[in-house]
Structure 1
């Protein structure tokens, strides 16, 4: 096996073997689809797309969805797409039929296959004998999700016969831009909405803490220019079948009993409704809730305190919910995040909120802590009891706006959330990093878990996220996975992280340690050769990533981490050379180790991009793993005698 085959990774190698085998010898295997579909059944045979296809769109199909199918096919090598009004029973070329299942042409194309009937569900069939691919959505959203699955299948050009029935486990899946520090730009938000579509997410909450018109100046109307920008985001969200949710944070100054403040909330939401926003959110997190902002609240609710705050908040939110319903009877329910948004312990505040809050209002909850190390089904059940309804999880991962994340990108896969949480949550919203493009790695996992928590695999999803960012390039995918490993740690507000640092590199370095201590000469040489390859991969990964990633903003936003990784890789390469020289009793070892130390010192001084995150500081790369090994290496082999 070649070195490239060894390094390509099992999922990539399997895909390479599947789609490069000559057609006559090809055995169809189940394709890797992310998020994992609810049900996939393989049939017999394969279908090759070819250069020309006919496209049958059922009447009423969204033209934007049809256009997306055409772009996917052309990117997959189809050169001629012929529109057709109806499907042909035995077409000479591949035909693609798409629409919702209430269309006769779609039902006929399914040929007796029972379609998925869940909200946002879809059925996708590849029928070689009929030379037909059918995309059948239970609704328009489901059809759009079917197209995203087609996007993953088409690059292979030869598709196995199969039937996919699929739908999301959780109704709400996506992100909440709710971090402190530099908010995303409008361009970054639009790119993020495009990304959310690819992972079948359906919700984006606009809640940047640093938008003055949503927090400090919440009563003031938005400038016309800002409304124009928000309108463009709402249009982009609709195009991507993502609910654009506008959040306002009146808590620091609101007078709960003042009719004028309730009217100010109505006015703000009316303005947003006028530009195409139809779902709203009131955030009451991170405020002082045991003192009133106005004398009127003291007169209305009595002495300030947690229970009084819970009642006052609930009654204001009820009034907002009633107003939203009056203005738009079809409007989705209001979402709120309470002041006690973490843990599910019974408190006077939660009791009051549970007693008074309209049951239609959706409550967000961050889990067992602000940054929870794990969330179980019993945890969610306790939250359901505490808030009087199933909650919408606000998961503070991969957000990096707190001190423990200084110098870090959080790139570990989404993990330690229990399969089956879909039975106790209405959904999950990830709070991402200040860096939008790097956030997509973890958010891919959040979306995949929320879509199908019972069949979610964090490691396979991590490979998928890397491959998507690499544009399918195997070498770039490997480089990204190497880089992700150096940013695997996931801190909490405490001293212990909930995911370990650099597990792949750590395992290799421990193998080298153990082999140098206990192995024979051949084993030592083999272990040091592995170390050299790992050092080469680490040193080369940044340039490969910069050259090959499909979205250059990832490299731009990761710049200091990539710079530091290259230096740490060179330091590890010098360390490997030093260990090899020392093992051969060469006096050159000391020079290699000294150079490694100098490079490590340079790497450790690289700083984060000023102002990019809430806390600036030195970049951390596989800290506690790589730096420890480089510092320890000169002591692993006895020094060479100078006599």
Structure 2
């Protein structure tokens, strides 16, 4: 990969979750495709979020241990994302016992990566950067992960973050960059929460603010928001992704709720990093041939633009029903046709917990 930029997938979306079997299958897909790591951070795992102080059930813990071992076997780095949602509140800083216990538990998985995720929480807190730096240093000191990544509460210039989570403290990014140990990476999604196109000037500016290259949390092709859940993003990453690798500490992709359909976009990113003449449109045809049986590939080639641009609301109910029937008849081992049919039938409903669409 150009400039050795680490590429990976972060399961970090709201709404309908992937199954344990799909997470296992992902490793087999990532290894030959050109990805090096997977970060387990589903919003549905309350033991990493609203109930982070509590332990996993025996069944979920065993499934998590089995998943971690599978990634070790396949040679893909395994990470886990912890979101202690109330730890930055005035009373939260003193909760060191629970935090230490959680890190000790996560250490039993021997993760390669530990992400400390401060997104999706109030940020209008005095000395927020200092609080988060102290917590990150505490976690780094007790974690056995070889890499620590912090997601700030304000991980983009997008004004929606201040609208939802409160006014950003003055000098937040600069203070975080100055105080945080240089070995700890910082996630960034771009000028928007869901950025369509990245520029080199923007990423260089972010690096100056954070005093390190950003670790890109790429919210394409994720579709978990109120608007985006009504769309399917099947096309390859834009050509801008081929021109930013040297400005990044890493590149993590947040995929769609539709596990199998996500593979089309996911398969394209390593090409952006390795193909000297990256052409997304031409690559899309190639990926359809590689990942889909012919009939399904032809159907997706015909409908992909409509699914992306128009979405469910713009498709008349009778047309939607006809399309759903068409895709249900395209039974295939890839699982993609069933996901399209379910999406058309409204089975991937919006999760109102996602506030930043």
For Structure 1 versus Structure 2, the TM-score category normalised by the shorter chain is: 0.7 to 0.9
Q: For the structure 1 residues 455 and 350, does the alpha-carbon distance in structure 2 shift closer, same or farther, using more than 3 Å as the test? A: same
Q: Helix, strand or coil for the counterpart of 1:403?
A: coil
Within the candidate set 325, 330, 336, 1:546 is matched to 330
User: How far off is 1:236 after superposition?
Assistant: 2.0
Aligned CA RMSD, in angstroms, stands at 3.1
Q: Helix, strand or coil for the counterpart of 1:558?
A: helix
* Residues 1:384 and 2:203 aligned together: no
- 2:355 matched residue in structure 1: none
Q: Tell me, in whole angstroms, the C-alpha distance in 2 between the residues paired with 1:338 and 1:453.
A: 32
Within the candidate set 346, 349, 355, 1:608 is matched to 346
- 2:291 matched residue in structure 1: 469
- Contact 2:327–2:338 (CA under 8 A) maintained in structure 1: no
**Aligned positions of 1:80-229 closer than 5 A:** 167-229=1-63
Within the candidate set 139, 142, 146, 1:320 is matched to 139
User: How far off is 1:246 after superposition?
Assistant: 0.6
Unaligned runs of 5+ in 1: 1-166, 292-303, 492-500, 502-537, 562-605, 616-643
Q: For the structure 1 residues 283 and 540, does the alpha-carbon distance in structure 2 shift closer, same or farther, using more than 3 Å as the test? A: closer
Q: Give deviations 1:556-593, integer Å, cap 9, x for gaps.
A: 221145xxxxxxxxxxxxxxxxxxxxxxxxxxxxxxxx
Q: For the structure 1 residues 179 and 543, does the alpha-carbon distance in structure 2 shift closer, same or farther, using more than 3 Å as the test? A: closer
Q: Tell me, in whole angstroms, the C-alpha distance in 1 between the residues paired with 2:46 and 2:180.
A: 27
User: How far off is 1:208 after superposition?
Assistant: 1.1
- 2:107 matched residue in structure 1: 273
Q: Using structure 1 for the length normalisation, give the TM-score.
A: 0.48
* Residues 1:459 and 2:281 aligned together: yes
Within the candidate set 252, 261, 265, 2:86 is matched to 252
Q: Tell me, in whole angstroms, the C-alpha distance in 1 between the residues paired with 2:57 and 2:101.
A: 14
- Contact 1:246–1:280 (CA under 8 A) maintained in structure 2: yes
Q: Tell me, in whole angstroms, the C-alpha distance in 2 between the residues paired with 1:422 and 1:490.
A: 31
User: How far off is 1:344 after superposition?
Assistant: 9.1
Q: Helix, strand or coil for the counterpart of 1:174?
A: strand
User: How far off is 1:200 after superposition?
Assistant: 1.3
- 2:147 matched residue in structure 1: 333
- Contact 1:421–1:453 (CA under 8 A) maintained in structure 2: no
Q: Tell me, in whole angstroms, the C-alpha distance in 1 between the residues paired with 2:243 and 2:260.
A: 29
- Contact 1:479–1:544 (CA under 8 A) maintained in structure 2: no
- Contact 2:87–2:95 (CA under 8 A) maintained in structure 1: no
Q: For the structure 1 residues 393 and 545, does the alpha-carbon distance in structure 2 shift closer, same or farther, using more than 3 Å as the test? A: farther
Unaligned runs of 5+ in 2: 160-167, 315-321, 353-357
Q: For the structure 1 residues 237 and 540, does the alpha-carbon distance in structure 2 shift closer, same or farther, using more than 3 Å as the test? A: same
Q: For the structure 1 residues 371 and 557, does the alpha-carbon distance in structure 2 shift closer, same or farther, using more than 3 Å as the test? A: same
- Contact 1:172–1:427 (CA under 8 A) maintained in structure 2: yes
**Aligned positions of 1:406-425 closer than 5 A:** 406-425=229-248
* Residues 1:484 and 2:336 aligned together: no
- Contact 2:100–2:142 (CA under 8 A) maintained in structure 1: yes
Query: What count of residue pairs does the alignment treat as equivalent?
Result: 336
Q: Tell me, in whole angstroms, the C-alpha distance in 2 between the residues paired with 1:177 and 1:541.
A: 30
- Contact 1:245–1:277 (CA under 8 A) maintained in structure 2: yes
- Contact 2:235–2:265 (CA under 8 A) maintained in structure 1: yes
